[in-house]
Amino acid sequence: MNIHFILHETFEVPGAYLKWAQDRGHNITSTKVYEEEVLPETVEGIDFLIVMGGPQSPDEDHQTFPYYDPNAEIAFMQKAIAADIYIVGVCLGAQLLSVAYGGKYEHSPLPNTAPYDHILYRHSPPPEKTSPAVHLL
């Protein structure tokens, strides 16, 4: 299987996804957006697309992140959708994927402090009070 990663920042690594792919002998390619690498022109030859996270958002301008083009990534993901390619979006990647499918997203009312802090959810019970089923997810 040919797996392509889109990586937005040096600290947003593919971790377990990469290890899983390597352990199974899959062919791995990547686009390092933070190094201003250009996305492939086509999705031909890609069987599985994994779009990782980052501090950006789907409506980001080039002022803060001049190397990041969300519209190009969304268009690339739409090509993958049309070609019936497997896609996983992680954090920012999931936001981009929702837009590629025609969905909407909202900015969080809480600041994005990851990966340096824990994310706090205002409406979720503390972990010790969640059901065992939640921990299985």
Name beta bridge partners: 76: none
Q: Which of 52, 85, 44, 89 is nearest to 68 (CA)?
A: 52
Q: What is the pLDDT of residues 73-107, one digit of tens each?
A: 999 999 999 999 999 999 999 999 999 999 988 87
Count of CB atoms within 10 A of residue 58's CB? Answer: 18
- Give the Cα separation of 16 and 51 in Å (integer): 13
Q: What is the pLDDT of residues 17-37, one digit of tens each?
A: 999 999 999 999 999 999 999
pTM of the full structure? 0.80
pLDDT of residue 109: 79
Residue 123: pLDDT band with limits 50, 70, 90: very low
